[in-house]
Chain A
Amino acid sequence: MTGVSYLAVAPEIILTAGAVVVLMVDVFARPSSRVHGWLVSATYALVAIAIGFQWRRVDIDGPGLSFGGTLLLNHLSVTVRAVLLVTAVLGTAAAWRMLIGLRRRAAEGVALVMVATVGFMLMGASADLVMTFVALEVGSIALYVLAGIVRSSPAGDEAAMKYFLLGAFASAIFIYGGALIYAAAGSTNVYEIAARLSGVHVVRPAVLLIGIGLIVVGLGFKVTAAPFHSWAPDVYQGAPAGVVGFMAAVAKIGGFAALLNILTGGFERYSGAWGDGLALVAAVSVILGTLMAIQQSDVRRMLAYSGVAHAGFILTGLAAGLVASSGILFYLATYSVMVVGAFAAVTAVSGQAATGSSFEEYRGLGRRSPVVAAVLATLMIAMSGMPLTTGFIGKFQVFTSAWEGGYEWLVITGLLASVAAFFFYLRLVVVMYFGGEDGDGTTLETARSIRWVLVFSAGASVLLGVFPGPLLDVLNRVGA
């Protein structure tokens, strides 16, 4: 319970140090963008090595707690870090042109991406409600600033402001939930709470349950679950395209990891209650997300609502509890890669700092830019959950968990929504390939870093869809 293990926070230390170095070097040396590139790459490489050491440590010594019991070092937290690292690398590459385009403030943007990653990594490792809250704020505040980092864009300012105001509201809800739980259980540490709750008869559980509910709402906001999602379309549409994919992915990964840690770690006893609560949120998210996505005429808003639906699918698995954790992680990892790739494609089509990306811009993309169109089509098909893609494997995993957990009605709802979702995913494919002549007929120039992200995301979505075995093997050890 006690002790200080620096290995347990090594990735976060390295990332924070990297962010500081990037900022300092920028202040004192005014280096070229190439230097920033090297610094960022080196930082990410070191983080990857640290994550490798963490995994080995857990393999040898088993899971452990440190820093007064606030931080977990187990397979789950290490996997979450790895997924976040991959997302950060892809997100940085996708946003690189945009970030460099900020000129004097490029270092700021790069550092913010790193700090956001630190925050959500800590969320995945936190075993204490206070720690979770701090981590949540570290990550979120970095994202608020990122959303408005292009100062010349009014839409970006609006997005950042909305995100910040509503985010503050959600944070308040979360911390209130934490306070109620502390009042009821006398601790903020999830394992201590679990220990205190076990074996006692809680006479009036309502305070505790309200606390749990408020925590679900607060984190549900971060993962864009409906009906706490309303900020997402506006923010995804207004924020600079380069970073939206990253923003969408990391907040989901951190939020779901925290939900998994808190609910299964501290409140296993009330799993029936929060399971039903999550199931409700899941059903609303899946239905609302799908229905609204069908209506959109802007690709970014469509992706935002599709994100709402995906949050619903992940919650479907989460409702079944810890047994679903490997499926949830698979879903999170593959969805993150898809969404970063999809927004990278949006960046390629609409430009780095643009706001909005209407379907019209995609007309005839199949001819104008075969690679971008092929990748986007692949990602849409993967997101729709077609077999032989990761989307299918992910859905299959969470649906089977939910079915075995007794949420048959939720699985059926999810299946129906998946069928309806084909409409809007394939609509984009149709527009790209069969939409008739394109407006200007010019071919697209795509930055190399973006092309790299595109090919990686589409490749991974298909490859891991055909051969999910190796990744599932690794993730299955997480659930064990």
Chain B
Amino acid sequence: MTGYLWIVIVLPLAGALFNHFLGRRIGEPRAAGPAILAVLGSFAFAAVAARDFFISAGSSEQAVAVVHLFDWIPGLGARAELLWDPLSATMTLVVTGVGALIHIYSVGYMHGDPRFGRFFTYLNLFIASMLILVLANNFALLFVGWELVGLCSYLLISFWYTRPSAAAAGKKAFVVNRVGDFGFMVALMIIFLSFGTLSYTEVLHDPGTVIGAGTATAIGLLLLVGAAGKSAQLPLHVWLPDAMEGPTPVSALIHAATMVTAGVYMVARCAAIFGLSDVAGGVVATVGALTALLAATIAIAQRDIKRVLAYSTISQLGYMFMAVGVAGYVAGLFHLVTHAVFKALLFLGAGSVIHAMADQQDMNRMGGLRRKLPLTHATMLIATLSIAGIPPLAGFWSKDEILAVMFYAGGYYTVLWAVGLVTALLTAFYMARQYFMVFSGEGRWDEGVDPHESPRVMTVPLVILGALTLVIGFVNTPFRLSFEHFLDPVFHSVPVAHAPEDGFLLAALALVSVAAGLVGILIAYLIYGRASEEVRERLLGRVRRPLMAWEHGYWIDDVYGKVIVEPGLRIADWSAGVLDQRAIDGLVNGVGVAVRRLGARLRPLQSGFVRAYGSLLAAGALLVVGWIVVRGI
């Protein structure tokens, strides 16, 4: 079964090719059919192939399979090999499962778009790329997936490329990711220099025998740069909010559920390297904590429904980085899975709202949508409570496990735990704020807007995700650590941080974090749910200055613009105008002219007469034969 694992990747790839060539011809909605079937097929295959892991959960590493396809670049130890272990299985199931639902949802959301087929081409291509990324068994193939995912992200963010803002956002995502990729590439070079190969099998098997703590720290920090780019961590988080220019299903798929988790996945995959260096892990956790807090504060002041979610994604990814930084891989991955579900739900719900409001994204123009969009409202409420950490929803279990792990790690990490706790309060606050602004109160709609519930093809995925949000947390509760046992074969040889086993301590920690969540919701209710317009204005007026800073994301984008982008543009202008046109083009054209003149002199050789050709042949024969005789004697 696992021998045919390549089918998982080939299916969406075939779907992408199919729609690329035939998508326009077969038109809407038929173009979506093959695309959805391809992803569902991948999901089904992966689910069946992962069955062994469920059966043998917690037993041994025998379940891990390496599928050799062919030698790709043998010199680099880069074989086209797929790694099938519980970690890659988890990622594959998340990508294809959430991906399939988003594909279905897109049928409704992209209805009427002239490039309907092309959209599904890109979605399929993205799924295939992400699967290459998570299934690779060496860093070279991982990098291929890594770059392809970046490319798809670019294509999808600027899908509506006629909008200048969308085109700019796509470009920004691409460039910022490139910065991260640079660090990643340097990390790969150091890995290759130290190990002589890029294969996981050799690099990640007891790397301590080959490299010391210093090299491990260097590799870890450089990998972190790459991960920060892809997973939108400080200071490379700036592309993600702008990426909301893409169609909402894209935001859900790429910028919430899958692509941005690539960084977390990569750190977890390299657990053996991070395990050698406390410094690298500590930096990862600190970056995560800072990002979580910073993004949460920014989210408070956003008015665009999707930007709130974008910053909340950055903040939640910060949680995951915190967890994997202290070696709480299971906690981090658990949050990755639950977050993928409820954040996809939030985005799709937001998409449903935007759809209903005739493409309005400003929450100040919403309100009172509870009755108009009952299904969207119900599912969004579940997701909001989940991310706020209210039991027994998915987000509670996974976030709580991260906080417990942080607290239990002790020492310096207790500070990060406190940061996480504050962030939890803020998270509950801004999510509840969003809920109240969108769904409760009076409608502040634009003229002529008549909100209506979205079609079935969009609400059914919402309901499925909502149901999943209710139950998926139970795969890893302190009472029953199924997910942890499932992942055992992956992390059995590296130190893993666990939540405390002391039931009383766990309960106390859970109480504290739930309390934080409830307080956040309460404050939001008081300000945005109950208070009148005037009271709210007065209250917010008192904190005008911080609100300004948050609304503009601490002006980080503006600083980057002044310090990096403008000088960069000036250098580009100079090299395009002066360096390239005068110096390099001049040189190239000069050579071209010289070669052409030389060639013109040779033209008489080709007169068209057979006698001339015969003579040339004879002369050439004499020359060559003479030369061979001279060299041979």
Residue ranges of A at the interface with B (Cβ–Cβ < 8 Å): 161-162, 165-166, 169-170, 173, 205-206, 209-210, 212-214, 216-217, 220-221, 226-228, 230-231, 233-234, 270, 272-274, 276-277, 280-281, 284, 288, 291-292, 294-295, 420, 423, 467, 469-470, 473
Contact between chains at A230 and B605 (CB < 8 Å): yes
Contact between chains at B595 and A423 (CB < 8 Å): yes
Q: How large is the interface on B (under 10, 10 to 19, 20 to 34, 35 or more residues)?
A: 35 or more
Q: How far is the CB of A165 from chain B (nearest CB, A)?
A: 5
Contact between chains at B619 and A227 (CB < 8 Å): yes
The one of A212, A221, A270, A295 that contacts B599, using a Cβ cutoff of 8 Å: A295
Contact between chains at B617 and A228 (CB < 8 Å): yes
Contact between chains at A213 and B72 (CB < 8 Å): no
Residue ranges of B at the interface with A (Cβ–Cβ < 8 Å): 70-74, 80, 591-592, 595-596, 598-600, 602-603, 605-606, 608, 610, 612-614, 616-617, 619-621, 623-629, 631-633
Contact between chains at A288 and B631 (CB < 8 Å): no
Q: How far is the CB of B169 from chain A (nearest CB, A)?
A: 28
The one of A210, A273, A294 that contacts B631, using a Cβ cutoff of 8 Å: A273
Contact between chains at B603 and A295 (CB < 8 Å): yes
Contact between chains at B602 and A288 (CB < 8 Å): yes
Contacts of A277 in B (CB 8 A): 624-625, 627-628, 631
Contact between chains at A173 and B621 (CB < 8 Å): yes
Contact between chains at A213 and B628 (CB < 8 Å): yes
Contacts of B614 in A (CB 8 A): 165-166, 169
25 contacts between A and B (CB under 8 A): A173-B621, A205-B632, A205-B633, A209-B629, A209-B633, A210-B625, A212-B632, A214-B625, A227-B617, A227-B619, A230-B613, A270-B632, A272-B631, A276-B631, A277-B627, A277-B631, A291-B598, A292-B599, A295-B596, A295-B599, A420-B595, A467-B80, A469-B73, A469-B74, A473-B71
Contacts of B628 in A (CB 8 A): 209-210, 212-213, 216, 273-274, 276-277
Distance between Cα atoms of A161 and B629 in the complex (Å): 33
Distance between Cα atoms of A231 and B610 in the complex (Å): 8
Distance between Cα atoms of A86 and B80 in the complex (Å): 26
Contact between chains at B70 and A280 (CB < 8 Å): no
Q: How far is the CB of A179 from chain B (nearest CB, A)?
A: 14
Distance between Cα atoms of A273 and B317 in the complex (Å): 68
Distance between Cα atoms of A273 and B630 in the complex (Å): 8
CB-based nearest A residue for B144: A466
The one of B74, B595, B633 that contacts A294, using a Cβ cutoff of 8 Å: B595
Contact between chains at B631 and A423 (CB < 8 Å): no
Q: List the 5 closest pairs (A to B, CB-CB), nearest first.
A: A273-B632, A213-B625, A227-B620, A277-B628, A230-B613
Contacts of A209 in B (CB 8 A): 625, 628-629, 632-633
Distance between Cα atoms of A228 and B499 in the complex (Å): 80
CB-based nearest B residue for A218: B621
Contacts of B596 in A (CB 8 A): 294-295
Most chain B CB atoms below 10 A, which of A205, A216, A220, A228: A228
Contacts of B595 in A (CB 8 A): 291, 294, 420, 423
CB-based nearest B residue for A270: B632
Given contacts A217-B620, A230-B606, A277-B625, 17 further A-B contacts (CB under 8 A): A162-B610, A206-B629, A212-B628, A213-B628, A226-B620, A227-B619, A228-B617, A230-B617, A231-B613, A233-B606, A272-B631, A272-B632, A277-B631, A280-B624, A292-B599, A292-B602, A294-B595
Contacts of B603 in A (CB 8 A): 292, 295
Distance between Cα atoms of A213 and B621 in the complex (Å): 8
Most chain B CB atoms below 10 A, which of A173, A214, A280, A469: A469
Contact between chains at B74 and A214 (CB < 8 Å): no
Contact between chains at A467 and B70 (CB < 8 Å): yes
CB-based nearest A residue for B618: A169
Distance between Cα atoms of A273 and B73 in the complex (Å): 36
Contacts of A210 in B (CB 8 A): 625, 628-629
Distance between Cα atoms of A9 and B297 in the complex (Å): 79
Contacts of A221 in B (CB 8 A): 617
Contacts of B625 in A (CB 8 A): 209-210, 213-214, 216-217, 277
With A166-B614, A205-B632, A292-B606 as known contacts, state yes or no: A228 contacts B74, CB within 8 Å. Answer: no
Distance between Cα atoms of A170 and B617 in the complex (Å): 8
CB-based nearest B residue for A473: B71
The one of B73, B74, B600, B631 that contacts A295, using a Cβ cutoff of 8 Å: B600
Q: How far is the CB of B148 from chain A (nearest CB, A)?
A: 13
Contacts of A170 in B (CB 8 A): 617
Contact between chains at A216 and B624 (CB < 8 Å): yes
With A213-B624, A233-B606, A274-B628 as known contacts, state yes or no: A469 contacts B617, CB within 8 Å. Answer: no
CB-based nearest B residue for A276: B631
CB-based nearest A residue for B612: A230
CB-based nearest A residue for B599: A291
CB-based nearest B residue for A275: B631
Distance between Cα atoms of A178 and B70 in the complex (Å): 44
Contacts of A162 in B (CB 8 A): 610, 613
Contact between chains at A291 and B602 (CB < 8 Å): yes
Q: How far is the CB of A424 from chain B (nearest CB, A)?
A: 10
Q: How far is the CB of B198 from chain A (nearest CB, A)?
A: 15
Distance between Cα atoms of A230 and B625 in the complex (Å): 18
Distance between Cα atoms of A272 and B631 in the complex (Å): 7
Contacts of B598 in A (CB 8 A): 291
Distance between Cα atoms of A206 and B628 in the complex (Å): 9
Contact between chains at A280 and B606 (CB < 8 Å): no
Contact between chains at A166 and B613 (CB < 8 Å): yes
Contacts of B632 in A (CB 8 A): 205-206, 209, 212, 270, 272-274
Contacts of A470 in B (CB 8 A): 70-71
Distance between Cα atoms of A295 and B604 in the complex (Å): 12
Q: How far is the CB of A462 from chain B (nearest CB, A)?
A: 13
With A206-B629, A276-B628, A280-B627 as known contacts, state yes or no: A169 contacts B617, CB within 8 Å. Answer: yes
Q: How far is the CB of A392 from chain B (nearest CB, A)?
A: 14
Contacts of B626 in A (CB 8 A): 213
Distance between Cα atoms of A288 and B595 in the complex (Å): 11
Contacts of B623 in A (CB 8 A): 227, 280
CB-based nearest A residue for B79: A469
Most chain B CB atoms below 10 A, which of A170, A227, A270: A227
Q: How far is the CB of A227 from chain B (nearest CB, A)?
A: 3
Contact between chains at A213 and B629 (CB < 8 Å): yes
Distance between Cα atoms of A228 and B613 in the complex (Å): 8
Distance between Cα atoms of A152 and B619 in the complex (Å): 35
CB-based nearest B residue for A226: B620
Contacts of A231 in B (CB 8 A): 613
Q: How far is the CB of B576 from chain A (nearest CB, A)?
A: 19
Contact between chains at B616 and A227 (CB < 8 Å): yes
Contact between chains at A469 and B70 (CB < 8 Å): yes
Contacts of A473 in B (CB 8 A): 70-71
Distance between Cα atoms of A403 and B73 in the complex (Å): 21
CB-based nearest B residue for A233: B606
Distance between Cα atoms of A205 and B630 in the complex (Å): 11
CB-based nearest B residue for A210: B625
With A292-B599, A469-B72 as known contacts, state yes or no: A228 contacts B620, CB within 8 Å. Answer: yes
Q: How far is the CB of A298 from chain B (nearest CB, A)?
A: 12
